[in-house]
């Protein structure tokens, strides 16, 4: 074996040893992240008495697949699935269009009072829209007769739009303007340049926005609960799954059925992320670090 080969082998071993602590740390982090999901999946197949008596055991002694059919029926999943799809798809479509437009004009400095608008958006990130603002939002929606799916879409868009706008702004700032300049020389106006030239180049960050908005809207709980509490016919999936806590006549929840409902509600999120994972990570890193 030559000296050069020995040196390269030693260098590889040193790099492997140097990366070992990082690999161990990331592995432990992955296990800690996945363990609650694995436990929920396992609990969803257990009978209630087994779950309550020996909930710490990972694998069920008796596999009860009926938990899923009961969760589907008791939570009226067909109806709540339709409601969640209406809210989520509407939020995704309008959110992508609005964030791409706002982020694009901000990245190209086409807005009068640019710094003021950016400062207001940045401040909105820290203000938050959580529990302290839930009651005022409920009162406003009540006055505007928006205690329905439309009101949920508007509120969810308002919550996620600040983040997605900044992601688009950062991503577009990393793109050159040569193609846009050529389009304008060919007679394209601002709207046509945005639609036919810039928007197709935003695909990575738009995929990120689709996943983020889908996750945000699909998992939303407080606003859908407050806005649809007296109207079970417009409950979303998260509200319907929450209602499984008290589906038994004695007021006690069947937590095995509740876990089955939670797993059913997670499937669309996992599927969307699995399909769009590559573009999601690319758009998230570029949109967060550029500009």
Q: What is the CATH number of the domain that holds 223?
A: 1.10.3720.10
| pLDDT tens-place string over residues 221-253 | 989 999 988 788 899 999 999 888 765 544 456
CB 193 within 8 A of CB 105: no
pLDDT at res. 249: 46
pLDDT at res. 291: 44
- How many Cβ atoms sit within 10 Å of the Cβ of residue 253? 16
Task: Locate 189 and state its tokens.
Answer: 């106006």
Domain count of the fold of the chain: 2
pLDDT at res. 289: 47
- Looking at the structure, do residues 188 and 250 belong to the same domain, yes or no? yes
Domain that holds residue 97: 67-289
- Looking at the structure, do residues 154 and 282 belong to the same domain, yes or no? yes
pLDDT at res. 53: 83
- Looking at the structure, do residues 37 and 71 belong to the same domain, yes or no? no
Tell the residue number behind the tokens 């003021």, with chain if given: 116
Show the low-confidence residues of the chain (pLDDT under 70).
Answer: 1-6, 9-11, 127-130, 246-253, 278-291
- How many Cβ atoms sit within 10 Å of the Cβ of residue 272? 19
pLDDT at res. 61: 86
- Looking at the structure, do residues 77 and 16 belong to the same domain, yes or no? no
Classify residue 165: in a domain, yes or no: yes
CB 222 within 8 A of CB 241: no
| pLDDT tens-place string over residues 108-126 | 888 888 888 888 887 777 7
Task: Locate 277 and state its tokens.
Answer: 């994972």
Task: Locate 167 and state its tokens.
Answer: 């992601």
Can you tell me the distance from the alpha carbon of 45 to that of 237, in angstroms, rounded to the nearest whole number? 20
């Amino acid at each position: 074996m030559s000296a050069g080969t020995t040196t390269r082998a030693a260098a590889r071993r040193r790099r492997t040893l140097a990366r070992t602590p990082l690999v161990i740390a990331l592995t432990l982090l992955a296990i800690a992240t996945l363990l609650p999901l694995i436990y929920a999946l396992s609990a969803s197949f257990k009978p209630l008495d087994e779950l309550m008596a020996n909930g710490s055991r990972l694998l069920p002694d008796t596999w009860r697949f009926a938990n899923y059919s009961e969760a589907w029926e008791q939570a009226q999943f067909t109806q709540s699935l339709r409601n969640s799809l209406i809210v989520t798809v509407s939020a995704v479509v309008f959110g992508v269009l609005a964030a791409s437009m706002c982020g694009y004009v901000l990245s190209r400095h086409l807005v009068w009072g640019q710094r003021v608008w950016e400062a207001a958006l940045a401040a909105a990130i820290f203000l938050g829209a959580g529990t302290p603002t839930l009651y005022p939002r409920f009162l406003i929606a009540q006055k505007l007769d928006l205690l329905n799916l439309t009101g949920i879409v508007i509120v969810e868009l308002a919550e996620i739009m600040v983040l997605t706008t900044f992601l688009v702004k950062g991503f577009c700032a990393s793109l050159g303007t040569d193609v846009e300049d050529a389009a304008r020389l060919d007679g394209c106006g601002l709207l046509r340049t945005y639609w036919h030239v810039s928007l197709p180049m935003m695909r990575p960050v738009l995929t990120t926005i689709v996943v983020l908005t889908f996750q945000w809207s699909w998992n939303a709980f407080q606003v859908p609960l407050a806005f649809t509490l007296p109207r079970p016919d417009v409950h979303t999936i998260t509200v319907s799954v929450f209602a499984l806590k008290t589906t038994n006549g004695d007021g006690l929840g069947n937590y095995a059925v509740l876990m089955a409902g939670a797993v059913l509600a997670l499937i669309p999120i996992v599927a969307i992320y699995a399909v769009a994972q590559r573009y999601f990570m690319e758009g998230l890193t570029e949109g967060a670090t550029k500009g």
